[in-house]
Amino acid sequence: MTTPIAVDAAVIGPPAIPASVPRAAVRPTSPLRSLLSRLDMAVPLALKVAVPVIAAMVLLVAGYLAVALPSLQRDLVDQYVAEARQVGIIVQEHYTTGGTDRLALGAVLRDIDRFDSSVLRINVYRIVSGSPVLWATSAPSELATGLPDSYDLEPIATGASLHRIESRDGVRVLETVSPIVVGGSIVASVGIYSTLNTFDTATATMTRLVVLLTLAGAAVVAILVGLILQVSVLRPVGRLHRVALRVAAGDLSVHLPAADQPPPRDEIARVSREFEQMVAAVAERRATAQAAAAQLHQEKLALTRANEELETLYRQQSRFVSVVSHEFRTPLTGIQGFSEILRDEAVTPAEVREFGADINREAKRLGRLIGDMLDLDRMRSGRMELRLQTVDLDEVVSEVAHDMETVAADHPIVLRLDAARARVNGDRDRLVQVVTNLLSNAVKYSPGTETVTLSTEVRDGTVHMAVSDGGVGIPADQLERVFEPYARLEHDATRKVSGTGLGLPIVREILRLHGGTVWVESIFGHGSTFHCALPLVTAEPVPEATR
């Protein structure tokens, strides 16, 4: 029962003044105050409660012994004094009626004596020339034996009223002496000797009873106080202690009572509740901090990503500049070189035409490079406007294939068109560009005389176009890159292939603008197939006449 308290004190720490104590308490502590404080910390609560209970019990018994017992004894004495006065009146009557007969007086005394069992005897002393002489007694045997030595007769002689207790043979005897005054002078004294045996037995019993009752009361009080302590102090404090230990270990989960519950009147319950509320507040703050940290982490990740994107963009830009520079310089070499030859050197008329044609071709190539670059830039930045109309894709495919056959005569082009008309909503010139780029790629990357196949297939509201070649193919690890600008294959077999490096990126952008897609399948060394998917026109077919 006391263990949690002791541990609690340990948790609270040394009895030095904690920083959170109000300012008023922070003043130079006297040694006594310090000692009390240390004691307060060292003594368990139960002991602190037990000590006053024990003290109260002791005080109760002491009070009984010091106040109640003497009071009872005083009452007894008063009773005997009153009895003595009564005897005094009788003695006085005897005197006045000439009754100096000691035997008669003794008989009277015996009668009185007989009424009270605790009275041992009643003596009447006659004061003879200042000295007391035993005159009459309720116990005649004493007349023979005379006065007991132990009796101090001095007070009797002076006629003083007194009472005193003497111990004789282990029995306490109360002696009450009262003077008899006749005619203004003391003539005799009445002494009543009574045993306190009965009284002592009664008070001893009573004392035992009082002590027992006090003990029983103290026990009951102690048990009650203990129960109250246990229920409303030690148990909640123990719980608080366990919660505090859990909190110290980092576990901030507490079971809070319902919010609408009124605050308890019990101080410890209130402290418990306030502590739990504090822990909940701390937990909430910690959760907030954790959320903030998580958010910071997320933002950092986002920033890192953005930074990486920027770096990628920068690298792309840098590569773009490098590639563009290289791509521009190659045709420029022909243009500059042959124009200087035409200007400065002796050439035949046939050479003039030949070199002129070379210059023209290279200039056109340069123009294509710039055109592609601008096209891609406009498409990517969303500045490209499509002139949309219903376009017959089969017609476009046939037208481009026909044009290509005249340019690349050594590559047979096979058309496999779907019986259903592939009508799409699109920009005709851009779709021509798509087919041209795919077809010229197929021809360019087929160093031999391999057949190039162009096919369309209408299915599920989509026209599917495929351009297949039996050329060099694309290594698997570069399939994803072919649609990136300037990602031309860096392979020996394709070094000689000239291009802007923008053909496929442009194809992808045009298809994207048309709501379509493009992807590639390839077996390295055995050719590639580029697939395009475009949504068909959903409206009514254009009348036959307009085709």
Partner 1 sequence: MSVVVFCEDQELIVKLIRVAMRSTAHVVHVASSGSEGLALIERLVPDLVFTDIAMPDLDGYALIAALKERPAVANVRVIVMSASVQRAQQDEAFRRGAAGFLAKPFGPAELRRRVDEELLAIPPKDASVHVG
Residue 269 makes contact with partner 1 by CB under 8 A: no
Q: Quote the tokens at residue 249.
A: 């270990």
Query: Which region, judged by CB under 8 A, interacts with partner 1, from 182-190, 321-329, 427-435, 455-463?
Result: 321-329
Least gap, CB of 290 to partner 1 (angstroms): 47
* Amino acid type, 303: L
Rule CB under 8 A: which of 454-493 touch partner 1? 492-493
Cβ closest to partner 1, residue 191 vs residue 331: 331
Residue 410 makes contact with partner 1 by CB under 8 A: no
SS3 194: strand
Q: 349-380 vs 267-344: helix axis angle to the nearest 10?
A: 170
Report the C-alpha gap between 185 and 88 in whole angstroms.
14
Q: What number of other Cβ atoms are within 10 A of residue 337's Cβ? A: 14
Residue 308 makes contact with partner 1 by CB under 8 A: no
Q: Which of 3, 131, 333, 517 binds partner 1 (CB under 8 A)?
A: 333
Q: Which of 44, 140, 226, 334 binds partner 1 (CB under 8 A)?
A: 334
Residue 363 makes contact with partner 1 by CB under 8 A: no
Report the C-alpha gap between 502 and 77 in whole angstroms.
135
In sequence order, the 6+-apart residues with CB closer than 8 A to the CB of 124 are: 87, 91, 105, 109, 134, 135, 136, 137, 180, 188, 189, 190, 191
Least gap, CB of 305 to partner 1 (angstroms): 28
Q: 3-12 vs 235-248: helix axis angle to the nearest 10?
A: 40
Residue 338 makes contact with partner 1 by CB under 8 A: yes
Query: Which region, judged by CB under 8 A, interacts with partner 1, from 20-28, 243-251, 339-347, 394-402?
Result: 339-347
Residue 370 makes contact with partner 1 by CB under 8 A: no
Least gap, CB of 348 to partner 1 (angstroms): 11
Residue 315 makes contact with partner 1 by CB under 8 A: no
Residue 350 makes contact with partner 1 by CB under 8 A: no
Rule CB under 8 A: which of 492-511 touch partner 1? 492-493, 495-496
Q: Residue holding tokens 């986002």?
A: 302
Least gap, CB of 495 to partner 1 (angstroms): 5
Tell me the DSSP string of 382-447.
T-PPP-EEEEEHHHHHHHHHHHHHHHSTTS-EEEE--SS--EEEEEHHHHHHHHHHHHHHHHHT--
Q: Which of 340, 410, 429, 480 binds partner 1 (CB under 8 A)?
A: 340
Residue 349 makes contact with partner 1 by CB under 8 A: no
Report the C-alpha gap between 185 and 244 in whole angstroms.
88
Residue 357 makes contact with partner 1 by CB under 8 A: no
Q: Quote the tokens at residue 355.
A: 């070199």
Q: Which of 8, 358, 484, 521 binds partner 1 (CB under 8 A)?
A: 358
Cβ closest to partner 1, residue 62 vs residue 493: 493
Report the C-alpha gap between 325 and 97 in whole angstroms.
167
Cβ closest to partner 1, residue 390 vs residue 494: 494
* Amino acid type, 266: D
Interface map 169-188 toward partner 1 (x if CB under 8 A): --------------------
Residue 17 makes contact with partner 1 by CB under 8 A: no
Cβ closest to partner 1, residue 38 vs residue 329: 329
Residue 405's alpha-carbon distances to 171, 393, 443, in angstroms, are 154, 18, 10
CB distance 328 to 369 below 8 Å: yes
SS3 161: coil
Query: Which region, judged by CB under 8 A, interacts with partner 1, from 145-153, 304-312, 328-336, 515-523?
Result: 328-336
Residue 140 makes contact with partner 1 by CB under 8 A: no
Cα dihedral sign for 154, 158, 159, 160?
negative
Least gap, CB of 310 to partner 1 (angstroms): 21
Report the C-alpha gap between 54 and 47 in whole angstroms.
10
Least gap, CB of 355 to partner 1 (angstroms): 8
Cβ closest to partner 1, residue 253 vs residue 336: 336
Q: Which of 329, 364, 512, 526 binds partner 1 (CB under 8 A)?
A: 329
In sequence order, the 6+-apart residues with CB closer than 8 A to the CB of 449 are: 410, 411, 412
Q: Which of 149, 344, 460, 544 binds partner 1 (CB under 8 A)?
A: 344
Cα dihedral sign for 356, 358, 359, 365?
positive
Enumerate helices (H) and strands (E) in the chain, giving the number of each: 14, 12
Least gap, CB of 531 to partner 1 (angstroms): 30
Cβ closest to partner 1, residue 344 vs residue 477: 344
Q: Which of 15, 217, 337, 535 binds partner 1 (CB under 8 A)?
A: 337
Size of the site for partner 1 (CB under 8 A): 26
Query: Which region, judged by CB under 8 A, interacts with partner 1, from 222-230, 255-263, 327-335, 521-529?
Result: 327-335
Residue 317 makes contact with partner 1 by CB under 8 A: no
Q: Quote the tokens at residue 453.
A: 């196949």
Residue 369 makes contact with partner 1 by CB under 8 A: no
* Amino acid type, 22: P
Residues in the site for partner 1, rule: CB under 8 A?
322, 325-327, 329-330, 332-338, 340-341, 344-345, 347, 351, 355, 358, 362, 492-493, 495-496
